[in-house]
Amino acid sequence: MTEEIKITALVPAAGLGARMNLDLAKPLVEIRAKPVIVFTLEALQSHPLVDEIVLIFHEQGLQQARAFVKKYGLTKVSRVIQGGASRRESVRNGLEVVDSRTKFVLVHDGVRPFVDEGCVTRVIEEAKICGAAVAGVPVKSTIKRINSHMEVEETLRRDCLWEIQTPQVFERELLQKAYLRSGKTSVPDDASLVELMGKKVHVVMGSYFNIKITTQEDLVFADSIIGIKALE
């Protein structure tokens, strides 16, 4: 453990990916003959500040997940556990198995395969200072708020808008408390639960390559990103 501070990564990957329109769970979709989830786990496996990884998978794929963890030598994956019906339930399941020696919990989407070492480091180091930090990038497009009639209500200031990504890193006790207090509150990410407690969450620069694989079009972008990274 680096500097005696244990960091455990939770990787929710229990989604079946209905929007992909494929007969395959989204994390198991292959890019250049390797499952998306393996790219993600390898990025965390290689990071010197990540001590342990808990993979949270869908019930039908648990054996398959354990098999590829072994196949690809993902030694930091200490557990493969069953996820819930939602991402939030999956993260909650993960928090239940995180041990008390863990100082910080890093949550990273299983289908964000191109997170780089620098991004992970920046989020962790910021969380060490403020207790809660997330990765993000400034939005490039003009964003408009519309009403139910598809009429523009407001054009938002782009310089104040960021697209939030993962990883998101929190003091373990803070995140566990946020989940305990959350009840059935519907939120888009883990940071939102922390924000509801009145805790300020800091944002650090992520990467435009750190895409979330959601639709088949994203697979095209993913293949291109691999090609670009190969040239670096």
> Tens digit of pLDDT for each residue in 134-162?
999 999 999 999 999 999 999 999 999 99
Pairing of strands 77-82, 52-57: parallel
- The alpha carbon of residue 25 and the mean position of all alpha carbons in its chain are separated, in whole angstroms, by 17
pLDDT for 9: 98
Query: What's the pLDDT score for residue 19?
Result: 65
Is 2-231 a CATH 3.90.550.10 domain? Answer: yes
Ramachandran bin of 166, using left for φ above 0, alpha for ψ from -120 to 50, beta for the remaining angles = beta
What does the alpha-carbon distance between residue 171 and residue 100 come to, in Å, rounded to a whole number? 11
β partners of residue 154 = 145
Q: Is the pLDDT of residue 46 over 90?
A: yes
Q: Is the pLDDT of residue 23 over 90?
A: no
Strand 132-138 to 162-171 pairing: antiparallel
Residue 185: is its pLDDT beyond 90? no
Residue 21 has pLDDT above 90, yes or no: no
Report whether pLDDT(121) > 70: yes
- The answer on pLDDT for 1 being more than 60 is no
Which residue from 166, 229, 232, 167 is spatially nearest to 32, judged by alpha carbons?
229
Across the chain, mean pLDDT equals 94
pLDDT-derived band at 223 (thresholds 50, 70, 90) equals: very high
**Which ranges of the chain does DSSP label H, i.e. alpha helix?**
36-45, 62-71, 87-97, 117-130, 172-182, 190-196, 216-231
DSSP symbols for 158-191? GGG-EEEEEEEEEEHHHHHHHHHHHTT---SSHH
Strand-pairing partners, residue 12, are: 56
Res. 93: pLDDT tops 90: yes
Place of tokens 């648990």: 62
Which is more confidently placed, 1 or 222?
Answer: 222
Q: Please state the domain extents for the chain.
A: 2-231
Asked whether the predicted pLDDT for residue 94 surpasses 80, the reply is yes
Does the structure show a pLDDT above 60 at 29?
A: yes
3-state secondary structure of 216: helix
| pTM, full prediction | 0.94
Segment 96-102 mean pLDDT = 97
Which residue is listed with tokens 């990410």? Answer: 189
The pLDDT assigned to 232 comes to 80
Token code pair at residue 13: 């990957």
Kindly tell me if the per-residue pLDDT of 3 is higher than 60. Answer: no
- Characterize the bridge pairing of strands 152-155 and 6-13: unpaired
> What are the residues facing 135 on neighbouring strands?
204
The amino acid at 156: L
Structure tokens at 175: 């995140």
Query: Please, what is the angle between helix 172-182 and helix 87-97, to 10°?
Result: 130
Quickly tell me which residue has 């708020």 as its tokens.
145
Closest by Cα among 220, 215, 208 to 31: 220
